[in-house]
Structure 1
């Protein structure tokens, strides 16, 4: 068994508990998880992935847009819940990652669901019309507000925008991209400006992106947001009207 996909601020026992009750990963998903551990590639992990699948089932989703797909891990979880005539739009800057995503989806007999787009996710979203039942945002954190604004009118009442890394995110070490303590200090008004912290400039930029996003979505009267405290923290924003 691979090591659990622990968020830095989610207790180990919670992840162990979740592991015992969530659906098991398929062999393909387990292979993808092993690849992520081996290569240090950030993915949402099986606890969040299983929840994304369930969200798609609850919403009777037929169409999903992903802002940032990596090598297709979250898309493979979504694919388990979509009908045969469904669609997942995968976006990614790295063409090799999308080639890998297509290969995994093909092995799951889900290749026909995928529309694969190389490039900037926000720009790609602007070229798509019609309804999306779910959008997943998992790109550069300072792009989150732009992603929300680009997709919001495509989300129907009852539809959902899911944003990953809204508690923490790490690349080389935990929280070197999004700093939880700084987030909490601003959200609880202990400080009013990240420039008062000693965060590195890049960490401050991404952390500020999450602050801007959380502030922005709370101001949207047509949407309601809650937190899913698994992995690196996922906010779930549902369109009310």
Structure 2
């Protein structure tokens, strides 16, 4: 009975914010090419935080097909800029299709290694960093994010529960351990971050840069 109730709660949360035609089209592209994208509730949460802090400069590490970028842009003013990075040129191409409604002046889509390119961005120039990286790059990307964010900026990490494996100590595969350790380290850095874990989608780790 408890499991059924939780499934109903999850479904209610996921359907609380519906996806418009552009978001639905982007999700269809994701299904077509097998790109793992966060749920609608996670996307809506990212837009909420972007709008909450009046973000002007946002960087996203892993574009996918542009679905998460679309959600982020829903929370940004027209004079804000989103920089989105993906290692796969095909993802960048698909993201351009997904983001066609937005002017190129508002979006920078960059093809290349996300972790390497994060390292080239300007210190303290960003209000929000959104990460959807390979778990093995996550710890290093968190360090780069602290450098990139202004004080009061938001770090938004999707898939923080690693397909539900992270809470289970019996799960010891490389990816799960990497996500678990990155979250534990972020939580322990209480002189640099204030951190919380939000149970939507596959988990969202949100940190406020001190």
TM-score of the aligned structures, taking structure 1 as reference length? 0.78
The yes-or-no answer on 1:91 pairing with 2:85 is: yes
The yes-or-no answer on 1:146 pairing with 2:115 is: no
Number of aligned residue pairs? 204
Cα deviation for residue 92 of structure 1 reads 0.7
The yes-or-no answer on 1:164 pairing with 2:158 is: yes
**C-alpha distance in 1 between matches for 2:160 and 2:14:** 21
Question: Secondary structure, in 3 states, of the residue corresponding to 2:206?
Answer: strand
Please list the CA deviations of residues 216-241 of structure 1 after superposition, one character each: whole Å capped at 9, or x if unmatched: 102212201111101111110111x3
**C-alpha distance in 1 between matches for 2:83 and 2:32:** 26
Unaligned runs of 5+ in 1: 1-9, 170-178, 195-203
One of 158, 181, 187 as aligned partner of 1:212: 181
* Residues 105, 111 of structure 1: 8 Å contact kept: no
Q: Which of the two has greater strand per residue? A: 2
Question: Secondary structure, in 3 states, of the residue corresponding to 2:126?
Answer: coil
**C-alpha distance in 2 between matches for 1:46 and 1:166:** 16
Cα deviation for residue 37 of structure 1 reads 3.5
Please list the CA deviations of residues 169-200 of structure 1 after superposition, one character each: whole Å capped at 9, or x if unmatched: 3xxxxxxxxx61xx3244xxxx7x93xxxxxx
TM-score of the aligned structures, taking structure 2 as reference length? 0.89
Please list the CA deviations of residues 40-78 of structure 1 after superposition, one character each: whole Å capped at 9, or x if unmatched: 321012111111111111010111111111111110111
The aligned counterpart of 1:12 is: 7
Cα deviation for residue 168 of structure 1 reads 2.4
**C-alpha distance in 1 between matches for 2:31 and 2:109:** 24
The yes-or-no answer on 1:184 pairing with 2:167 is: yes
* Structure whose alpha-carbon radius of gyration is higher: 1
* Residues 130, 156 of structure 2: 8 Å contact kept: yes
* Residues 142, 208 of structure 1: 8 Å contact kept: no
* Residues 29, 65 of structure 2: 8 Å contact kept: no
* Residues 102, 111 of structure 1: 8 Å contact kept: no
* Residues 65, 134 of structure 1: 8 Å contact kept: yes
1:71-150 equivalences in 2 (<5 Å) = 71-106=65-100, 108-129=101-122, 130-150=124-144
